[in-house]
């Protein structure tokens, strides 16, 4: 089947014909269709294991009280069916047209095993977090913070030995030492709400990417300096963070960004949503993730004349998702 209409690319919207079987641009027969095609979204930071806690989160807890090492979230994870919660999270991911997920997976080796039976046609990068020992589960490291995790350097080293990614929360609730986290040599930092302009410049110069989660940050009264990050040319991605606080739907995230970061161009916001962390993935030409193939397309209803306005309109619906075969 071929589809012709407005398609979002790295150069903006263009009229193209897409072979929906292979998910590639084609010269084949053109079938006009109503709607807009955008590449499947990238959700670059999630904690899907706490999705089903969404209706039971106690109000007015601080960041440390809710998600810290001894916080409410971790007690909830101990007492509930995390596997069932992960499945619920992936349903949101798939239904919202997300082709790549980077999940900080709590629970050590057993936590990673909960992903074995997940039927997800996109790219899943599970960043392991140790439980009870110092060994990194899996190939990628998802580090809570330098303060929370005393063996961060060792975990990062283990991930690099396995050609895995290293991600770490940084400057989420207060400014933290940028030099110390750069010494860790992470691939990406998450949040950076309280980073100074100098911190951002140092991260950029070190080739470190950043993932921002604005809806989750607002819950705790924080706001990432996305405009400055864009101005500095930092390689960015969007994440939906904890499933218990926010839906795992990148459309919800970018519409929030549009309303709360009004100096950002809509093309820039949509580009981050669809092509996030491209520089990080392409840093190592031998990596499995270098030149990451597009997973497919999301067909959105067209409710406004302007394509960008239509994507960001909350009345726009997902009409269908096509995955690369």
Bridge partner residues of 168 (DSSP): 143, 189
Q: Which residues of the chain have pLDDT under 50?
A: none
pTM: 0.95
Q: 266: which 2 tokens? A: 């809509």
Minimal CA–CA distance to 188: which of 78, 44, 18, 10? 44
- Give me the pLDDT at residue 2, please: 73
Task: Give the pLDDT confidence of 7-29 residue by residue, as tens digits.
Answer: 999 999 998 888 777 677 766 55
Domains defined for the chain, CATH in brackets: 2-38+295-323 (no CATH), 41-281 (3.20.20.140)
Alpha carbons 189 and 228: distance in angstroms, whole number: 15
Task: Give the pLDDT confidence of 261-270 residue by residue, as tens digits.
Answer: 999 999 999 9
- Give me the pLDDT at residue 303, please: 94
CB 32 within 8 A of CB 22: no
Task: Give residues with Cβ within 8 angstroms of 132, minimum separation 6.
Answer: 108
In the structure, how many helices (H) and strands (E) does the chain have?
A: 13, 15
Give backbone dihedrals phi and psi of 36, rounded to 5 degrees, phi first: -130, 135
- Give me the pLDDT at residue 28, please: 56
């Amino acid at each position: 089947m071929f589809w012709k209409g407005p398609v979002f690319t790295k150069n903006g919207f263009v009229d193209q014909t897409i072979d929906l079987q292979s998910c590639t641009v084609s010269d084949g027969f053109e079938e006009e269709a109503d709607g807009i095609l955008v590449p499947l979204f990238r959700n670059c930071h999630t904690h899907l294991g706490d999705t089903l806690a969404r209706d039971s989160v106690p109000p007015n807890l601080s960041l440390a009280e809710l998600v810290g090492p001894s916080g409410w979230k971790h007690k909830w994870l101990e007492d509930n069916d995390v596997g069932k919660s992960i499945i619920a999270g992936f349903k949101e991911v798939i239904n919202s047209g997300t082709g790549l997920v980077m999940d900080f997976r709590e629970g050590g080796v057993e936590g990673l095993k909960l992903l074995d039976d997940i039927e997800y046609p996109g790219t899943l990068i599970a960043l392991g977090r140790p439980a009870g020992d110092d060994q990194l589960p899996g190939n990628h490291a998802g580090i809570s913070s330098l303060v929370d995790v005393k063996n961060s350097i060792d975990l990062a080293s283990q991930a690099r030995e396995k050609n895995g990614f290293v991600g770490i929360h940084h400057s989420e609730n207060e400014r933290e030492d940028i030099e110390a986290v750069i010494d860790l040599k992470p691939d990406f930092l998450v949040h950076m709400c309280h980073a100074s302009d100098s911190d951002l410049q140092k991260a950029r110069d070190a080739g470190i990417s950043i993932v921002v989660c604005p809806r989750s940050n607002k819950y705790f009264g924080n706001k990432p300096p996305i405009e400055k990050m864009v101005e500095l040319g930092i390689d960015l991605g969007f994440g939906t963070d904890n499933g218990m606080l926010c839906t795992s739907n990148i459309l919800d995230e970018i519409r929030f960004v549009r309303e709360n970061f009004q100096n950002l161009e809509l093309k820039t916001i949509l580009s981050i949503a669809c092509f996030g962390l491209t520089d990080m993935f392409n840093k190592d030409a031998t990596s499995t993730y270098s030149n990451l193939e597009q997973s497919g397309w999301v067909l959105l209803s067209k409710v406004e004349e302007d394509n960008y306005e239509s994507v960001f309109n909350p009345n726009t619906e997902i009409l269908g998702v096509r995955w690369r075969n």
